[in-house]
Structures are given as C-alpha cells and as structure tokens.
C-alpha cells in the first residue's frame, strides 16, 4: 500500500477536529489546535511508515504524551487513510473505537496516554530499545508544558541523557496553559529551554505554528553530530486558528453548540 498523497493542510486538520468535537459533543479542542502544525510537519516530512503501515516493524515512533490532544492526531491519521470517515462521524457514540485520550489499541497510536507524565518515559523506552537493536528508528514524544510539572518527565529526561539517546526527540507544546489555569499561576516553570538544556538535551526554541521553522528545527537537530537527546520547545497558542478560542482556557473543557461550531468553522475556513 503506497502512502496517500496529502499535504496535511492545517486548515483541513482543524476542520476535522471541529467536526469530531461537535459530532461527539466532546472537549479538548484548544489543546488539539496548539499541536496541529507540529503534527502536520512530522507526518508530512519526518515520520517513516514503510508501505504506509502504522505497525511496520521498522517504523519511527510518535508518542503523544499529552493524550488529551489526540483529536489532532486522529485528523492526521485520517489523511493517511488509517481511519475511516465513519469513525469520525460516529466519534464518541456508543461503540466508537476512538476515545478522547490516546489509546494504543488504535493502530497508529503507540501508547495509551492521558494520565499525564508517563508518555515521555514510554517513548524513552522505545528509543532505548531501538538503540539496543541497532536500528535507525527515531522516537518522538510530544508533551504539554503543564504536563512537565510531573516528576516522571524529569526522570525520563535524565535517563535519555544518561544513555545518550540521540535517536530521541522531545517536543514541548508550550502554550502557557493547563487544565485549571495558566502554567505560571499553577506552578512556575521558568525557562523550559534552559531546564532541558541543563538536563543534557540539545535544545531549540521555535514558533510552534511556523511550519518552516518546525521542519528546519527537526532537520537540524537530527543532522547534529551530538550524542545528546533532542528537545524542541514549541511556543504555541492554545486554541490556535479560532480567535474566540485563542488564549481562552475555557475551551479546554467547553463543548461546541450549533452557534459556536458555525463560528469556529467559519474562522478556520478563512485560515491557511
């Protein structure tokens, strides 16, 4: 099976997320929108799935540790042809296979996540396994900035640096919010860039919605001769693409109604 020809257009991905959220009367729209461009670039240009097989033995790995943003990943998986349209129109209905958190029983999702903090360690284990097998597989983990309040994040980071997992890349979705408020109000993080740098990561900070910058950062880190694990701190906007959702944390848990759905779709249709 050859990979489908898709550009992973951010507008289309956001429309898919909105359709899912509205049809399923579910939440977590804002935190899905902040990672759309990150996922689009990864799937378009960097993740390797031989024969477009999400279970290929020699595939790269992507762990969405912030599992509540999974609608954005579902949208990409739809573009790849891994998920049927019926799965989206019936999202969250009785019998639906697609959950509101990442579930490894879905082909293409590497780990069951949602209990924040553990996905990074799962990904680090995958990277360690690839190193021990001597393969050229790469492992990516996407975490939220609020999520890095969790201690296991730093245990996993220490492990990755100690074992010189140069095949591992962490991407932090730094949108400034977590479920119950601003990250700076809940627990100040300081400079996330400097934290991961001090933990032994080769680290870059970028605009997480600039697809050229995302691509260049990923490419340059993989091209580095350093044996350090890699980290990209992506400055993002929660709710990106819909003005009334942007920087508005109520859209972590607010459901769409007919009016807000129509307004959101109109806003996204006018985007890139």
Q: Read off the DSSP letter of residue 239.
A: T
181-182 vs 177-178, strand pairing mode: antiparallel
Q: What domains can be seen in the chain, in order of their start residue? A: 10-269 (3.40.50.970)
What are the pLDDT tens digits along the chain (272 aa)?
455 667 899 999 999 999 999 999 999 999 999 999 999 999 999 999 999 999 999 999 999 999 999 999 999 999 999 999 989 989 988 889 999 999 999 999 999 999 999 999 999 999 999 999 999 999 999 999 999 999 999 999 999 999 999 999 999 999 999 999 999 999 999 999 999 999 999 999 999 999 999 999 999 999 999 999 999 999 999 999 999 999 999 999 999 999 999 999 999 998 65
As a whole number of angstroms, the distance between CA 159 and CA 166 comes to: 12
Contact yes or no for 179/253 (Cβ under 8 A): yes
As a whole number of angstroms, the distance between CA 15 and CA 241 comes to: 10
Q: Is 202 helix (H, G, I), strand (E, B) or coil?
A: strand
Instruction: Using alpha carbons, select from 76, 77, 69 the residue that is nearest to residue 234.
Output: 69
Contact yes or no for 193/205 (Cβ under 8 A): yes
**Residue 84 CB burial class (10 angstroms; 0-12, 13-18, ≥19):** exposed
């Amino acid at each position: 099976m050859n990979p489908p020809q898709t550009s992973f257009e951010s507008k289309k991905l956001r429309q898919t997320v909105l359709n899912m959220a509205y049809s399923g009367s579910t939440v977590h729209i804002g935190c899905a929108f902040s990672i759309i461009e990150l996922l689009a670039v990864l799937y378009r240009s960097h993740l390797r799935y031989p024969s477009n097989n999400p279970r290929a033995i020699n595939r790269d790995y992507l762990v969405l540790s912030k599992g509540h943003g999974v609608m954005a990943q579902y949208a990409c998986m739809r573009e790849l042809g891994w998920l049927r349209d019926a799965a989206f129109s019936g999202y969250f209905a009785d019998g639906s296979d697609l959950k509101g958190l990442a579930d490894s029983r879905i082909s293409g999702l590497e780990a069951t996540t949602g209990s924040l903090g553990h996905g990074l360690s799962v990904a680090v284990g995958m990277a360690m396994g690839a190193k021990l097998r001597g393969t050229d597989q790469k492992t990516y983990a996407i975490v939220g900035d609020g999520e890095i309040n969790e201690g296991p994040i730093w245990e996993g980071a220490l492990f990755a640096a100690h074992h010189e997992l140069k095949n591992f890349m962490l991407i932090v979705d730094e949108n400034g919010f977590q479920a119950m408020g601003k990250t700076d109000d809940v627990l100040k993080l300081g400079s996330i860039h400097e934290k991961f740098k001090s933990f032994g990561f080769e680290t870059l900070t970028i605009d997480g919605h600039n697809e050229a910058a995302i691509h260049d950062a990923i490419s340059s880190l993989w091209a580095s001769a350093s044996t350090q694990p890699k980290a990209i701190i992506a400055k993002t906007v929660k709710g990106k693409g819909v003005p009334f959702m942007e920087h508005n944390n109520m859209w972590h848990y607010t459901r769409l109604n007919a009016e807000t759905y129509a307004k959101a779709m109109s806003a996204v249709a006018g985007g890139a």
